[in-house]
Structure formats: C-alpha cells, structure tokens
C-alpha cells in the first residue's frame, strides 16, 4: 500500500513544481537519506554474486526481492516529503498524530482478535486469481492470506501470536510500539473526554495481546519507552504525569502477575530457541558485509546449512531445516548484507541526526516523535523495518520537521528551506 499510495503523492508534488505552485522542501538531514538510497540502489550491481557462507539461489528471485524492497524505500521517501510539505490547512500535524493513534487502535483490535480467534484467516481475492503453485509460496501466503494470528509452536504447544492488521507477529509488535506513543499523545493528552476513555480502555486491554504475542522485542521496547518517558517528564518537572505513568505501570504489572499471563511471560523467557539461529545469522551478515562493505550484495541470501552444521539443509520432511534467510532477523543485519556497512551507517545516521535535532522539542508530539526515532535503534537488531514500521517512522519524522517549522515561524526565525533542486539554503 505504501508503494501504491506513493504514486499519487509523487504526482501531486511534481504538479507543485511543474506549475510553480510551491517548492518541494526537504527535511534537515535529508542528504544522509539520499546517500543511503544511492548506496542501496548501487547494491543491484552485486545481485548476481554469491555471498560467503550462503548457497546459490536464482538471480531472478533476488531481482524481484530487490525491486520490491527498493520500491518500498522510495515510497516512504515520497511519504516523508509529501507529509512534510502539506500545510496546516491541508493536513494539520495533530491530525497526523490522531490518525496514527487511530491506527494504534486498529492494531490493538487486531491483537485482541488474534487472541480470541487465532485460527481465523481467509484468502484475498487477488490470491485466488494466482496459480496454485504461486499461492503456496510462504511470502505470498503472508501477504495475500490475511489472518488474525500466526499459530506457532514456541512453548511446546501451538499458540496463536497476534499479527492483524499486519502480515507477521513481529511486525505487529514493532508497529504497536511505534503507534502507542501517538495513541497517548493524540487521544489521551490532546483528545476529548470520549477519546481519552477509548484510549484508556485500549491501553488496558492491549496488555493481553502483548503477552500472547510472546514478542520479547516488543517487551523490551515498552520497557525502554517507560524509561524514556520518565526521563523526559522528570527533566521537565511534570511530576503529576510521571506519577500517572508509574501508577499505570504498576497496574499493568499487577494484571500480569495475578493472571495466567504470568505463566506465558515466564515460559517465554526460558524458551529462547531462536537465539542461536539469530546469533548465527547476525554473524554471517557481518561477515558478508566485510566482504562487500560499500554496497553489500543488494538482497538477502540463504545460509549454507544451519547453526548446527553446513550439512544440515531442507528436506521433504523438514522444510524449516537450514538455509535460513540472512538479513531477515533485524534491520541492521538486513542493511549489512544488502547495502554494506556504508549503507547501514547512512541509514541510521539519518534517524540519529533527527533524534539529536528534535530532542529539544518538548511538545507532546515532539516527545512522541523522538521516541519513535529512538525505537528504530531498539528494534534494529531484532526486526526488519521495511514496510509499515518504516512508514510510521517517516511520518513521525515529518511531524517533528513540521513542528520545528511552525515553532520557527511563530518566533519570527528563518525556517529550514532545503529543496530538491538544491537551490534552498538552511
């Protein structure tokens, strides 16, 4: 959807330029992102190569995967520029925050649905139009066969891990962590009394799918979020809000400790079957980046064998054995193998610069936006961000950017006017 939506957005911005209606401004630090895109696209030159420690796979598959990923990066770039160039009368900043909070409510609802009906799924119309051989592809299944949960054997028994309205449980957890700050900001702090009641109910109910997701990355992100918000509130002397946060945290802890949810948390913490696989794939992604540090290999590769032995591979009886995808266990590792150390450094430098530049924005939207940028670094070693998580992060960057412009204009200071044609000067 981000790729499709980028088409009319890009067309409208082209119309602004072509008819001299308005300049297309770029956000601070955008040069870092452009350099990352150049590095990412240059990786296409290495698509035909086989990375060390990986098996030979069809080049056509790599080209397709590279094309979809590149289109996604370009799409969120268009999203950032478009959202940042809209005026307050066209789309207010608080409206963006409210809509992100609304998406957070949808995510909470999807999570609850995954807990109540974990095996519910259906074939989309587009999937039914595809050949049976294509429908059986795991990637196609994930994208075109909507479900409320992924049923997986993580604790020794089949359990539904919520994923709606996203294709994977890990994506659900990633997006939930990025959206909850906006739900609190736009619905609790800025919202009406009715919106505050809805948000409070959602924040209470979401505890159940958060635990059922068995998503340790999400749990870690929520702990980080609590620490970050506490730090910002304490620094501003907002002791009342800090007290409310402590009370809310205590209530959540009590709910988990006094219900069967505690057993799920305890079992998940001692069942870390994926740890060895993740570590092995991370080491291999780093080795591959060392062999092609500037442009990487353009796309992910498949590990030769498994963490146990290079002789362990897939069989008819064990389709999950060996040959795991290198780069799918975290955005950092994805960038290492696809774009090398240079691409990874530029990617994270862009968000690090945004965090530094907008740290002094103490508005509720500013605190929430910086938190979303910081969560990029929390999730980078466990989940990939391509798709919805990166789109949400770019919208947070756009809100911070527009917040700064509005603040400068209100103070009578010159605004940052970077332009795509290079004629602007900060």
The DSSP code sequence of 406-424 is HHHHHTTPPPP-EETTS--
Pair of tokens at residue 149: 């949960």
Q: What are phi and psi of 241, to 5 degrees?
A: -65, -35
Pair of tokens at residue 140: 């196609």
178 plus 290 within the same structural domain: no
Is 295 in contact with 339 (CB distance < 8 Å)? yes
Task: Give how far Cα 271 sits from Cα of 215, 265, 266, 283, Å.
Answer: 12, 10, 9, 22
**How many whole angstroms separate alpha carbon 59 and alpha carbon 67?**
12
Q: What is the pLDDT of residues 297-312, one digit of tens each?
A: 988 888 886 555 444 5
334 plus 392 within the same structural domain: yes
Q: What is the pLDDT of residues 174-229, one digit of tens each?
A: 999 999 999 999 999 898 999 999 999 999 999 999 988 888 899 899 999 988 98
218 plus 93 within the same structural domain: yes
Task: Give how far Cα 286 sits from Cα of 52, 53, 299, Å.
Answer: 11, 11, 14
Q: What is the pLDDT of residues 368-411, one digit of tens each?
A: 999 999 999 999 999 999 999 999 999 999 999 999 998 888 77
Residue 129 predicted with pLDDT over 90: no
Total count of domains within the chain: 2
Q: What is the pLDDT of residues 62-96, one digit of tens each?
A: 898 899 999 999 999 999 999 999 999 999 999 99
260 plus 218 within the same structural domain: yes
343 plus 394 within the same structural domain: yes
Is 54 in contact with 325 (CB distance < 8 Å)? no
232 plus 288 within the same structural domain: no
Position 417 scores a pLDDT of: 59
In-domain check, residue 426: no
User: Which residues are CB-neighbours of 14 under 8 A, at least 6 positions away?
Assistant: none
Peptide bond into 56 cis (omega under 30): no
**How many whole angstroms separate alpha carbon 42 and alpha carbon 297?**
9
In-domain check, residue 105: yes
Position 358 scores a pLDDT of: 95
* Dihedral Cα 408, 413, 414, 418, nearest 10 deg: -30
In-domain check, residue 318: yes
pLDDT band for position 418 (50/70/90)? Answer: low
In-domain check, residue 425: no
Question: Which of 228, 257, 272 is at the close of a domain?
Answer: 272
Question: Which of 210, 243, 272 is at the close of a domain?
Answer: 272
128 plus 211 within the same structural domain: yes
Strand pairing report for 158-162 and 301-302: unpaired
Query: What is the pTM for the complete model shown?
Result: 0.89
In-domain check, residue 131: yes
| Domain range for 81 | 1-85+274-415
Question: Which of 272, 300, 325 is at the close of a domain?
Answer: 272
Position 424 scores a pLDDT of: 44
Residue 313 predicted with pLDDT over 80: no
228 plus 94 within the same structural domain: yes
Task: Give how far Cα 292 sits from Cα of 287, 326, 338, Å.
Answer: 9, 15, 9
In-domain check, residue 422: no
């Amino acid at each position: 959807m981000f790729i499709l939506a980028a088409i009319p957005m890009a067309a409208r911005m082209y119309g602004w330029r072509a008819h001299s209606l308005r300049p297309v401004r770029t956000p601070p630090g955008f040069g870092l992102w452009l350099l990352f895109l150049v590095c990412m696209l240059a990786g296409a030159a290495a698509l035909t190569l086989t990375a060390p420690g990986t098996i030979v796979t069809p080049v056509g598959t790599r080209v397709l995967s590279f094309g979809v990923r590149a289109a996604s990066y370009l799409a969120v770039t268009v999203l950032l520029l478009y959202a940042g160039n809209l005026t307050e009368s066209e789309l207010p900043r608080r409206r963006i925050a409210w809509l992100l909070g609304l998406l957070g409510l949808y995510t909470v609802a999807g999570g609850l649905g995954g807990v109540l009906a974990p095996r519910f799924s259906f074939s989309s119309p587009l999937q039914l139009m595809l050949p049976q051989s294509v429908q059986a592809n795991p990637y196609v299944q994930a994208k075109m066969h909507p479900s409320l949960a992924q049923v997986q054997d993580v604790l020794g028994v089949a359990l539904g891990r919520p994923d709606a309205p996203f294709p994977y449980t890990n994506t659900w957890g990633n997006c939930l962590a990025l959206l909850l700050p906006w739900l609190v900001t736009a619905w609790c702090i800025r919202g009406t009394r009715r919106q505050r009641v809805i948000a409070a109910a959602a924040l209470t109910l979401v505890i159940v799918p958060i635990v059922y997701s068995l998503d340790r990355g999400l749990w870690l992100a929520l702990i980080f979020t609590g620490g970050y918000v506490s730090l910002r509130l304490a620094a501003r002397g907002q002791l009342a809000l800090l007290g409310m946060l402590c009370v809310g945290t205590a209530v959540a802890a009590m709910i988990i400790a006094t219900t069967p949810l505690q057993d799920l948390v305890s079992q998940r913490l001692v069942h870390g079957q994926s740890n060895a696989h993740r570590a092995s794939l991370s080491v291999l992604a780093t080795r591959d980046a060392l062999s092609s540090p500037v442009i990487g290999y353009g796309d992910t590769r498949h590990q030769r064998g498994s963490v146990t032995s290079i002789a362990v591979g897939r069989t008819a009886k064990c389709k999950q054995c060996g040959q795991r995808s290198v780069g799918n266990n975290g955005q950092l590792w994805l960038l290492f193998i696809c774009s090398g150390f240079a691409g990874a450094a530029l990617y994270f430098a862009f968000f690090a610069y945004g965090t530094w530049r907008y740290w002094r924005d103490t508005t509720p939207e500013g605190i929430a936006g910086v938190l979303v940028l910081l969560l990029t670094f929390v999730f980078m070693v466990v989940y990939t961000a391509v798709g919805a998580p990166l789109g949400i992060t770019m919208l947070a960057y756009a809100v911070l950017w527009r917040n700064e412009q509005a603040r400068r204009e209100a103070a009578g200071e010159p605004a940052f006017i970077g332009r795509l044609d290079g004629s602007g000067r900060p």
